[in-house]
Amino acid sequence: MDFRSRRRFLQLTGIAGAGFLNGCRLLSKNNINAQVVVVGGGFAGATAAKYIRLLDANIKVILIEPKAQYITCPGSNWLFADLLKIENLTVNYQALSQQYGITVICDAVARIDCEQKRLLLENQQSLAYDRLVLAPGIDFRWDTLEGYDQATAQVFPHAWQAGPQTLQLQQQMQAMRNGDVALICVPAEPYRCPPGPYERASMMAYWLQQHKPKSKLLILDAKTGFSKQKLFEAGWAKSFGYGTSNSIIEWHSLADNPLQHLDVKTKTLSTYFGDKIQAQVLNIIPPQQAGSIARQTGLTDASGWCPVNPLTSQSRIQEHIHIIGDAANYAPIPKSAFAANSEAKTCAMTVVSLLNQQPLPDAHWLNTCYSLITPQYGISVAGVYKLNAEHTIEAVKGAGGLSSLKDPESSRLEAAYAQSVYQTLLKDSFS
């Protein structure tokens, strides 16, 4: 996508948002007294709760989230380049409760009774629902690398759920000696935010270049390639000498020689063929699966993710439960906050239509994902998705695309867009 069409795309997504609302206010014709419970107050759940209320103020919406404050993963990599503080990534649920009349309960759901359409909170409160929207995000798989488990992750933080682990990883990086090695282990797909590990590598390299220029950052990848690879590599070549012997960043595919074992004491990783890789800072991002409440309720399949009917966002296992965000399988749409927000809006329209016994809306989705290579160098990927005749999701040909490799001016502007898209998304989801 060239630069002008990128701006046009962003304009269109903004207009689509407004049009979406105007059209949908028509839905609130009936005086229904339905109760929708939304589980999980991340980008998916918060957006769904807000838009259901915007579409039909007669529906009572209860949002359940254990954390009083939510720290966004988008933007959390920027911490490693000292571009912001964690407070800048922190939101609360006041606007959702005060502006939109959503009942926000600060607790976790312990159990879902699909037969009775009830759920039980950790504090033992029981709640009934007419429709349940489930958006619990991700959990990690701890059984894939010998020596690495939940306890070890406290020492070698994954920082793949933004918060204390992000700060811990930042402190570890800052405590490195000049010449030390840091590494990032990237899992196979699907995982949350496909370009996220490479943006993290960029932000760390940017900081190391200024403060510990003799240090190296290794990316050990379970894949043979990665999202926005050409754009990242061009940016790394320009900014960090990638491809030369002086490069701060090195990327290694371990697809044919996977990591097998972590020796915690010596901070050494061993591969299948016996290679040993030692580093002073180890950021191991484990493979992922749907949040535990989804698995516990039997809503996942063998992949570990929740299968859904994309037209309605209904679980293929329990049809009165709608599942959105990272926990659900909307492939080929990647797991991102932008996509979670888009899935939530489609889901909100569906839930309101079903409760009002109105025809279902057409389903379509958007995703865009910006990454910073340096504070002045941004890149992005965008996609528009629709249902095809087989009722599976496909990318709309000719819509979306990647940043231009040829236009040096665009990378500076894309860096600015990265900030503004983040702010817009945050506002649209939480206020």
Residues that bind ligand FAD (CB under 6 A): 39-45, 64-67, 70, 73-74, 76-77, 108-109, 135-137, 160, 192-193, 196, 291, 293, 325-326, 335-338, 340, 369
Nearest approach, Cβ of residue 73 and ligand FAD (Å): 3
Q: Any idea which residue has 């966002």 for tokens?
A: 313
DSSP secondary structure of 213-276? TT-EEEEEESSSS-TTHHHHHHHHHHHH-TTSTT-SEEEEE-TTS-EEEEETTTTEEEETT--E
Residue 312 in contact with residue 351, Cβ under 8 Å? no
DSSP element (H, E) containing 315 = strand 314-315
What's the gap between Cα 400 and its chain centre? 19
Looking at the Cβ atoms of 27 and 185, the one nearer to ligand FAD is 185
- Cβ-closest residue to ligand FAD? 42
Q: Which is nearer to ligand FAD, 27 or 347 (CB)?
A: 347
Q: In the complex, what is the shortest distance from the CB of residue 270 to ligand FAD, in angstroms, rounded to a whole number?
A: 26
Give kind and range of the element (H or E) at residue 139: strand 138-140
Beta strand 131-134 pairing with 90-92: unpaired
Least distance in angstroms from the C-beta of 239 to ligand FAD: 19
Query: With contact defined as beta carbons under 8 Å apart, do 430 and 390 qualify?
Result: no
- In DSSP terms, 268 is beta-bridged to 263, 278
| Closer CB to ligand FAD, 279 or 328, in the complex | 328
Instruction: Report CA Rg, the chain.
Output: 22
CB of 42 to ligand FAD, least distance (A): 2
55 vs 340 by CB, closer to ligand FAD: 340
DSSP-assigned letters across all residues of 24-46: HGGGTTS----EEEEE--SHHHH
Q: How far is the CB of 70 from ligand FAD (least distance, A)?
A: 6
For ligand FAD, give the closer residue by CB, 174 or 271: 174
State in angstroms the smallest separation of the CB of 71 from ligand FAD. 9
Give 338 or 356: the residue with its C-beta nearer to ligand FAD. 338
Minimum CB separation of residue 380 from ligand FAD in Å reads 10
Nearer to ligand FAD, 215 or 297 (CB): 297
Burial class (CB in 10 A: 0-12, 13-18, 19+), 388: exposed
Q: Smallest distance from the beta carbon of 63 to ligand FAD, in angstroms?
A: 9
Q: Which residue, 82 or 268, has its beta carbon nearer to ligand FAD?
A: 82
| Shortest Cβ 25–ligand FAD spacing (Å) | 25
183 and 217 Cβ atoms separated by less than 8 Å: yes
Residues making up the chain, counted from first to last: 431
Euclidean distance between CA atoms 330 and 332, whole angstroms: 6
Q: Is 97 helix (H, G, I), strand (E, B) or coil?
A: helix
CA dihedral of residues 115, 121, 123, 128 (deg, nearest 10): -60
Which is nearer to ligand FAD, 73 or 299 (by Cβ)? 73
